[in-house]
Chain A
Amino acid sequence: DIHLTQSPSFLSASVGDRVTITCRASQGIGSALVWYQQKPGMAPKLLIFAASTLHSGVPSRFSGSGSGTEFTLTISSLQPEDFATYYCEQFNTYPATFGQGTKVEIK
């Protein structure tokens, strides 16, 4: 199975900060990388797919980049509603696998 490692696991940031989360794959996955946001008690919400394509309705402050084994999710200016846990998922090879998550909390 392909293993995804996210860093950091936890970050503390302020409203307006630029935030970057990294997801590294144990082997090359092309651009088959998805980012989700999850809030407590809710289902994950799709943000970005194909490494850099913004899902419909997702604010443009979210962006994704990368290919192969290293990917990033960037929030250009953190908003109060962005405090949540973020997960990457790879769809290059089944079984699909998720990263362990990055929790973004208010500083």
Chain B
Amino acid sequence: DAEITQSPRHKITETGRQVTLACHQTWNHNNMFWYRQDLGHGLRLIHYSYGVQDTNKGEVSDGYSVSRSNTEDLPLTLESAASSQTSVYFCASSGDRSTQYFGPGTRLLVL
């Protein structure tokens, strides 16, 4: 069965370190998304991609970057981790008509 996986599932890091969260999907979807989920804010879009070499900023993109070198992967990099980036991060992908399939999430703690 097709799926979307994220790694690591849990991460503790220190302020100022660079962190990369992996997202891998086997749906063969062109569209991939990164969200963060915080209490009281629901899901907020960080970055998204409509295909290889395409990346776009979402509503909360400051301090984050993505790159898309193949269809399956969209890694999310925190350039210099800040305590405000402590959150749960979800990756999602979609094909036609925008139905999104979500990964299990990565819980990130920045100390």
Do chains A and B interact in one complex? no
Report B's interface with A, CB cutoff 8 A. Answer: none
Q: Which residues of A contact B (CB under 8 A)?
A: none
